[in-house]
Amino acid sequence: MSVSRNPPTRGRPKKLDREHVLKTALLCYWADSPTDVPISEICEKTGASKPSLYREFGSDDGLKEAALDAYDELVSQRRYDILAGDQPYDEALEALITHTVQDRKKADVPNGCLLFAMRARREEFGPLTLAKIDQLRENSLEQYRQWIDRAKSNAQFRRDIPTDTAALYFDAQMGSAMRLQKEGVSNKVIGEILRTAFSAFG
Amino acid sequence: MSVSRNPPTRGRPKKLDREHVLKTALLCYWADSPTDVPISEICEKTGASKPSLYREFGSDDGLKEAALDAYDELVSQRRYDILAGDQPYDEALEALITHTVQDRKKADVPNGCLLFAMRARREEFGPLTLAKIDQLRENSLEQYRQWIDRAKSNAQFRRDIPTDTAALYFDAQMGSAMRLQKEGVSNKVIGEILRTAFSAFG
DNA sequence: AACATTACGTACCTATAGTTACGAAATTAA
DNA sequence: TTAATTTCGTAACTATAGGTACGTAATGTT
């Protein structure tokens, strides 16, 4: 169960599996609520001791930061592929919606979005997590902006709408969709809502 | 400072000013975050003792429930007037947007919306507050539904969109607007976003 | 074999926040 | 004046959760 490491160093070999802890933490935060999962719960679920987690992540804040980062790596690649790809705007939009309202049970991941859930609770996090939240949020806005600008230059998107505003709009709609999903609204209805929202650009 | 009450009863006169406590609590929850304001803070700001608050509201949960109820009474009347009034759909929509993005500093109230903030933190409340959140949310959806249905019957709203979905859409857009406002986005941009979102129905 | 090094985990510490026990105070009724 | 009633508020209690001191275990190096 010890973690792979080369070259093997001296001292007692490390038992804590960082990736396993991160994945467990991220799933707890995601499925439940990021501010309602005590470190002790992560410890129980992974079999790690509290001091081990503190050695690895420094603090609760550090663990949340690392977990959010791991979440992003796990989840945002698909969105990036869609937004950075070279398919036409309409197709990308449809792919985005389809991806957003995909059945989470089939993919075996929780409903909602950890990043949006954390943004809604900004005040409750430490500086590291806060910085990570802001960074990922900015990444996401920037991806929308570049996508929109490319669509504009291909005459596939209305030029009378400022890119910044449109990016905020996309972000806000996706946030609403994730919240509705978490509240239990069906993906079918969420899809209709998203299509309605983006029809405003058509 | 004692509270008005007739007829005067026996026993030590009540000192605790329920309305003052509720207004203070509601403003703290609203301006800050509803889950980050300890009872002790409400006590300090109002000069009441903790046992007094517990006698009056039973528990933290009870206080939050009462504060949310007071918030709704304070805030939702205007929206109700707009939605239940008899002006045409377009005018009502415009009034709704204007009201939503009004300058909060002028009205001397915090940014954002307490009900949406609480909905985003559902898991963190007790049963009383939870029930109140759900009730007010349902009230709000019902107001949208009736408004939309009237607009439909007056041929001012597309009949091909289910009323339930449209109501969810209104609610979601207003939620986004309140969150953006809380995040510091200008009311001007928020107004543009709302107008864009609702242009989908035009 | 003895030492240096690194990681482990039990058992604590501390702060916070919700909650309450209980005796004192302020009023009306008898 | 005394009793009955109602509320007051100090000073606790309790549970939770973040965080750590410290002795032990497991490895490589000499």
Q: Mark the nucleotides of strand C covered by protein, meaning any atom under 7 Å from a CB.
A: 4-11, 16-22, 24-29
Per-chain mean pLDDT for chain A? 95
pLDDT tens sequence across A20-56: 999 999 999 999 999 999 999 999 999 999 999 999 9
Question: Is residue A80 a contact partner of residue A147, using CB atoms and an 8 Å limit?
Answer: no
Kindly identify which residue of chain B lies nearest to residue A188, measuring between CA atoms: B165
Q: Do A180 and B168 touch (CB under 8 A)?
A: yes
CB A71 within 8 A of CB A136: no
Query: pLDDT at residue B202 above 90?
Result: no
User: For B119-164, how does the pLDDT look when each residue is reduced to its tens digit (9 = 90+)?
Assistant: 999 999 999 999 999 999 999 999 999 999 999 999 999 999 999 9
pLDDT at residue B1 in the model: 40
Please tell me the distance from the alpha carbon of residue B120 to that of residue B71, in angstroms, as a whole number: 17
**Which nucleotide has its C1' atom closest to residue A58's CA?**
D19
A18-199: in CATH 3.30.420.40 = no
- Give the C-alpha separation, B200 to B44, whole Å: 48
Q: What is the pLDDT of residue A202?
A: 80
* pLDDT, tens digit, 9 for 90 and up, residues A116-154: 999 999 999 999 999 999 999 999 999 999 999 999 999
CA B141 – CA B144 distance, rounded (Å):
5
Q: Which residues of B touch A116 (CB under 8 A)?
A: none
Nearest to B168 among A169, A173, A189 (CB): A189
CA distance A162 to chain B (A): 10
Residue B183: its chain A contacts at CB < 8 A?
119
A5 touches strand C (CB under 7 A): no
Question: What pLDDT score does A6 carry?
Answer: 54
Cβ neighbors of A27 (< 8 A, separation 6 or more) are A110
Contact B106, A17 (CB under 8 A): no
pLDDT tens across B16-32, in order?
A: 999 999 999 999 999 99
Domain ranges (residues) in chain A: 18-199
Residue of B nearest to A171 (CA): B176
User: Do residues B26 and B74 make contact, with C-beta atoms less than 8 angstroms apart?
Assistant: yes
Look at residue B124 in the predicted model and tell me its pLDDT: 96
Give B180's contacts in chain A (Cβ within 8 Å): 168, 172
Nearest residue of B to residue A33 by CA position?
B123
pLDDT classification of A7: cutoffs 50, 70, 90: low
pLDDT band at B6 (very low <50, low <70, confident <90, very high): low
- How far in angstroms lies nucleotide C25's C1' from the CA of residue B14? 12
* Predicted local distance difference test score (pLDDT) of residue B5: 45
Averaged pLDDT for residues B185-196: 98
A13 touches strand C (CB under 7 A): yes
Could you give the CA distance from residue B54 to residue B21 in angstroms, rounded to a whole number? Answer: 12
Tokens at residue B1, please? 């400072």
Q: For B75-113, how does the pLDDT look when each residue is reduced to its tens digit (9 = 90+)? A: 999 999 999 999 999 999 999 999 999 999 999 999 999
The CATH superfamily label for domain B70-199 reads Tetracycline Repressor, domain 2 (1.10.357.10)
Q: Is B196's CB within 8 Å of A161's CB?
A: yes
| Phi and psi, residue B112, nearest 5° | 75, -170
